[in-house]
Amino acid sequence: MSAWNLVKSGEYESAIALLTEEAAHAPSTAVFNNRGMAQLHLGRYDAALADFRAAEEATIAVSGGACDGALCGVAHWMAGREEEAILTWADGVRVSIKGAVIYADLAGGVTVGNLLMFGAAIRRDAGATELAAKLLKKRLRTKQATSWPGPASRYLMGELSRDALLSAVSQTAVLHERQLCQAHFYIGVRAFSGGDALFYSTEIKQALGYGRVAKLGAEYYLALHELEQKRA
């Protein structure tokens, strides 16, 4: 069984052992990110942070440029360092606005802006909201923004309805559940931003209902943490 299949099956210690062997012989962005996600499940947030930082270093070594710190922010948030998470995502947004991030999502690099929107909503941080919106407005003017997770960004910016967001989710099996998880997560975030904590809770629980395939996305881990913290 592959390391990622071990993660999806909940065999986190076995996944970490296998990924540690892979990292010793063929270190890569994917190996470090996958091990970091397994660490998150075990509550080893600093170990996860170290892996996500190693993943970024591997990406920079291959592609140059900068990284946006999206998963590093997730590790901080889950460790209870919410302010540090927001600072990390904010730094990622700033370097993204400058065009320094080489590797990004298919929508041109909106993920870190979406994550900062989440953190800003929970922390009631108007400055972070404004910064995230600056990036999203810039990205949403491009043709790439029609690709996922661009529709989630449009929803957060109030440019798309809930039904339109859900309709934008891919029907391709390998993507469908992950994107549904992300869609319901951001539906919840917008509800929380509007003062509806009950609907936030409902949507976060729905986001977690998509299970194993969704574990590849940052939003799955944030939803898991929010539920454990009883904020959702």
Residue 193, pLDDT > 90, answer yes
Alpha-carbon span 141 to 148, nearest angstrom: 14
Can you say whether residue 169 is alpha, beta or left, with left for phi > 0 and alpha for psi between -120 and 50 degrees? beta
Give the number of domains in the chain: 2
> Residue 39's domain spans which residues?
1-64
Domain end call among 20, 40, 64: 64
On whether both 118 and 207 belong to a single domain, the answer is yes
Q: Report the candidate in 12, 9, 81, 3 with the shortest Cα–Cα distance to residue 41.
A: 12
Q: Average of pLDDT values for 194-205?
A: 95
On whether both 162 and 219 belong to a single domain, the answer is yes
Confidence category of residue 226, pLDDT binned at 50, 70, 90: very high
Q: What average pLDDT does the chain have?
A: 94
Pseudo-torsion of CA 190, 215, 90, 75, nearest 10°? 120
Quick: pLDDT tens for 49-108.
999 999 999 999 998 889 999 999 999 999 999 999 999 999 999 999 999 998 779 999
